[in-house]
Amino acid sequence: MTRDRDTPRSGGRLMDMVPHLILMLGVLIFAFPIYVTIIGSTWDAATIGRGNLPLTPGGEMLNNYASAWSESQGNRVMHTPVRIMMWNSLVMALVIALGKIAISIISAYAVAFFRFPLRMVFFWMIFITLMLPVEVRIIPTYEVVANLGLIDSYAGLTIPLIASATATLLFRQFFLTIPDELVEAAKIDGAGALRFFLDVVLPLSRTNIAALFVILFIYGWNQYLWPLLITNSAEMETVVIGITKMIGNGEAATDWNLIMATTVLAMLPPVGVVVLMQRWFVKGLVDSEK
Amino acid sequence: MQRRVIFDNRALPYLLLAPQVAVTLIFFIWPAAQALWQSVHLQDAFGLRSQFVGLENFQAVLSDPNYLETVKTTIVFSASVTVLSLASALGLAVMADSKIRAAAAYKTLLIWPYALAPAVAAVLWMFIFNPDIGILGRALNNLGYAWDYRLNDGQALTMVILAASWKQVSYNFIFFLAGLQAIPRSVLEAASIDGAGAVRRFWTITFPLLSPTTFFLLVVNIVYAFFETFGTIHALTHGGPGKATETLIFRVYQDGVVNHDLGGSSAQSVILMVIVIALTAIQFRFVERKVHYS
């Protein structure tokens, strides 16, 4: 048989269905846990605790979200109100994303547009951070932050994560593609390095900045190990950490309804950012990783 | 390495580099140096005195049967996560790349899990597979299969592998799809005219052309399984039952933060740094090679 079964023209209808079936199965596997979570957030704790969670929405949705959002205590567990945790996560994600972009773009500019002693030493020093993820230097980094008095502070949560070799490399690579003629023209017009940066380089980098922002926002929002170490007070907890603290040992006698409502709320910002800014997100990902 | 036309300014480049270099020195280089220093010293219980012990900490770590067990768990875990998430992502990407209607909608529906925190993914799985309250956890028990990942080693490891892979599929999917879309249609059409069926076209043309992407993803996925799944494991099983789901990173945290064994934890950190450096070097050699090709 040399018939091409892959194109609609010559193929049977059944074969055309195969990609749809496989993709739908994939979507189902990804969507099912989310669906169950959303359903779980609309029932009362007792129904879930008995293990009889129906697959249709219950009537407790408003109650659950309202009490997770603003109260610090359910029937069985104490937790930080979600609005406080969401605020902490938001501050952390924004400071990390904007801070990484800001310090990376100026250091990439320095490395790409100037020639100065020790240029390559600095470049390699930044590059090396790629190889030192926070996970492998947990204790000494914690000690540095503790010595600086930054435990339980936004500065301690964000500044140690703000250096970014990936973003610096990406911006540098992009800067190397800016035509020499453009720089010449700016110099002839009497523009200095800072003027050129603000008037030409920054506007040209808009797409890269937007793409990186999406990825870095998600990176910041989803941090786990670092906030686990650096925050002790309930007031400084991020929502990702807060959820796992609410679960405790995962017994049936937990306010699963509140946990599920919190989980849905914790997912909304990063998932929303990816879905709404899909084009930039994909560009940023494929550009920055390759 | 450098542009032809540049600006002349003595102080400015240093000023521009200052914030990044300061953060790097204080929070990266200094702690890494500390880890190296601590890994060859032994501290007393109060952290007041320390003594140079050479490679003793490494020797202690590497001859600890517990540590070797953790190495084994990490290898099983990382290999399973990598293979599972790469294979399913490739399958989905090939399907989404075939000329079907609604491909864009499928794409959106498949890439959002990237945005989930690993720990949140763990909570979703826990809620479904909890033996008391989870829909599927209870179903398994009702079918007569004794399911409790909180007690059974193998089930616990399966849970963390599935949850970690589930989250990683969307990432791999994006790269495979980008790779597939870069393959010239004409090559595939020519093969099709020559009578190669879909399966044959995939193995003789598509798959070899995807190999740079696959190799890149292989490295990235190993790094992910090693370092970024801490949240998944911590939220889902806390390394248990016993030490059944303890990976190398989890153990650095456990020994250093929970058990305050600085020397041992630092020695483990140094071992992990060597692994990251090796993986990064491989990744960059590959990127360099790829640049030559294009």
- Domains of chain A as residue ranges with CATH: 14-59 (no CATH), 82-288 (1.10.3720.10)
Query: Mutation test of the interface with chain A: which of B4, B10, B24, choosing the one with the most A Cβ atoms within 10 A?
Result: B24
| B114 located within any domain | yes
Judged by a CB distance cut-off of 8 A, whether residue B92 touches chain A is yes
- Inter-chain touch B116–A1, beta carbons under 8 Å: no
pLDDT score, position A5: 44
| B10 located within any domain | no
Provide the terminal-to-terminal Cα distance of chain B, rounded to the nearest Å. Answer: 18
- Inter-chain touch A140–B216, beta carbons under 8 Å: no
| B25 located within any domain | no
| B1 located within any domain | no
Judged by a CB distance cut-off of 8 A, whether residue B199 touches chain A is no
| B262 located within any domain | yes
- Inter-chain touch B138–A163, beta carbons under 8 Å: no
What's the length of chain B?
A: 294
Q: What amino acid is encoded at B32 in this protein? A: A
| Angle (deg, nearest 10), helices B65-97 and A13-40 | 130
pLDDT one-digit tens code per residue, B5-14: 788 888 999 9
Q: Supply A35's token pair.
A: 């669906």
The range of the structural domain enclosing residue B166 comes to 65-290
- Confidence bin at A35 (pLDDT 50/70/90): very high
**Partner-chain residue, chosen from B5, B174, B235, that has the shortest CB–CB distance to A180:** B5
Mean pLDDT for B161-177 is 94
Indicate whether A284 pLDDT > 80.
no
pLDDT one-digit tens code per residue, B192-250: 888 888 888 888 888 888 988 898 899 889 989 988 899 999 999 888 788 899 999 99
Number of domains in chain B: 1
| B172 located within any domain | yes
- What CATH number is attached to the domain comprising B256? 1.10.3720.10
Q: What is the dihedral of CA A263, A264, A265, A266, to 10 degrees?
A: 50
pLDDT one-digit tens code per residue, B59-109: 888 888 989 999 999 999 999 999 999 999 999 999 998 767 778 888 888
Closest CA relative to residue B56, chosen from B45, B42, B35: B42
Q: What amino acid is encoded at B87 in this protein? A: A
For chain A, the DSSP string reads: -----SSTTTS-HHHHHHHHHHHHHHHHHHHHHHHHHHHHTTS-HHHHHTT---SS--S-HHHHHHHHHH-SB-SS-B---HHHHHHHHHHHHHHHHHHHHHHHHHHHHHHHHB--TTHHHHHHHHHHGGG--GGGGHHHHHHHHHHTT-TTSHHHHHGGG---HHHHHHHHHHHTTS-HHHHHHHHHTT--HHHHIIIIIHHHTHHHHHHHHHHHHHHHHT--HHHHHH--SGGG--HHHHHHHHHTT--SSS-HHHHHHHHHHHHHHHHHHHHHTHHHHHHHHHHHH-
| B284 located within any domain | yes
pLDDT one-digit tens code per residue, A78-101: 778 899 999 999 999 999 999 999
Indicate whether A110 pLDDT > 80.
yes
Would you tell me which residues 56-85 of chain B have a C-beta closer than 8 angstroms to some C-beta of chain A? none
Q: What amino acid is encoded at A224 in this protein? A: Y
- Inter-chain touch A125–B24, beta carbons under 8 Å: yes
Query: Mutation test of the interface with chain A: which of B38, B133, B255, B269, choosing the one with the most A Cβ atoms within 10 A?
Result: B133
Backbone phi and psi for residue B42, each to the nearest 5 degrees, phi listed first: -120, 125
Average pLDDT over chain B reads: 87
**Three-state SS at B238:** coil
Which residues does chain B have within 8 Å of residue A195's beta carbon, measured at their own beta carbons? none
pLDDT score, position A290: 45
pLDDT score, position A202: 95
Report the half-sphere exposure of B10 (CA within 13 A, side-chain side): 0
Residues of chain A with pLDDT > 90: what percent?
A: 52
